[in-house]
Amino acid sequence: MLLIGICGASGSGKSTLAREIAQRVEGQALILAQDVYYQDHPDMPFEEREKLNYDEPAIFEHDQVFSDLSALKNGQAISRKGYDYAQHRRQDPGTPMGPADVVLFEGIHAFYDPRVRELCDFKIFMRVDPDICLLRRAQRDIEKRGRTIEGIARQYLATVKPMYDKYVRNYIDYADIIVAGGGKNARIADVLAFYINRGGLKAE
């Protein structure tokens, strides 16, 4: 199994690139988003959950991410995870998913955990202008996550930009390849799929 990590700012096109690659690779491809591994706080009031910093590394269940990716690397199925962005709650279906020939793991802190970085056969960093990322994030959060423009702006200034400056932009140092312009880059998706299909991205 080939594990590809895709990292970058929120709105940089990680999910889009993952889908573009998945559509082109031979065999079964599985996309796993880091977002579904947010910690759950069932006993915390919604108003308090809303104030949590969802852009810091500590908000994710890194041990569970590592456990699931390790299982997939070993050809085992894992339990499907889910997340309700409007309520800030985990919503795990619990159904089996995987294994697959290619797994694409994407997230803003996909390269945070050194154990996960070691598991990855290939690492991609999305380098996109922060203003473009903000516009894409706003459109996505309004259309798909039930957010308001006021809430998006408040979260961006309070957590998104500070965490990008402190952590996310530095993950570029771990990347094997840097992709500019976002996920709708047919040429880079074609090139990566070409090498994936011929085993060219397999770690030695």
Q: Which pLDDT score is estimated for 204?
A: 42
pLDDT tens across 87-102, in order? 899 999 989 999 999 9
Q: Which pLDDT score is estimated for 159?
A: 84
Averaged pLDDT, 28-36:
96
Q: How far is CA 95 from CA 22, 136, 151, 201, in A?
A: 21, 31, 33, 30
pLDDT: which is higher, 137 or 20: 20
Q: Enumerate the domain spans of the chain.
A: 2-197
The CB-side HSE value for 88 (13 A sphere, CA atoms) comes to 18
| Cβ atoms of residues 12 and 128 within 8 Å | yes
Please provide residue 121's backbone torsions phi and psi, each rounded to the nearest 5 degrees: -80, -25
Q: What is the DSSP string of the chain?
A: -EEEEEEE-TTSSHHHHHHHHHHHSSS-EEEEEGGGGBPP-TTS-HHHHTTS-TTSGGGB-HHHHHHHHHHHHTT--EE---EETTTTEE-----EE---SEEEEEETTTTSSHHHHHH-SEEEEEE--HHHHHHHHHHHHHHHS---HHHHHHHIIIIIHHHHHHTGGGGGGG-SEEEES-S--HHHHHHHHHHHHTTTT---
Q: What is the C-alpha R_g of the chain?
A: 17
Please provide residue 78's backbone torsions phi and psi, each rounded to the nearest 5 degrees: -125, 170
- Percentage of residues in the chain having pLDDT higher than 70: 93
Q: How far apart are CA 106 and CA 33, in angstroms?
A: 5
203 pLDDT tier (thresholds 50, 70, 90): very low
73 pLDDT tier (thresholds 50, 70, 90): very high
Find, among 15, 17, 7, the residue nearest to 124 by Cα: 7
The owner of tokens 């309070």 is 158
pLDDT tens across 108-137, in order? 999 999 999 999 999 999 988 776 767 776
pLDDT: which is higher, 196 or 61: 61
Predicted model pTM: 0.88
Domain 2-197 carries which CATH code?
3.40.50.300
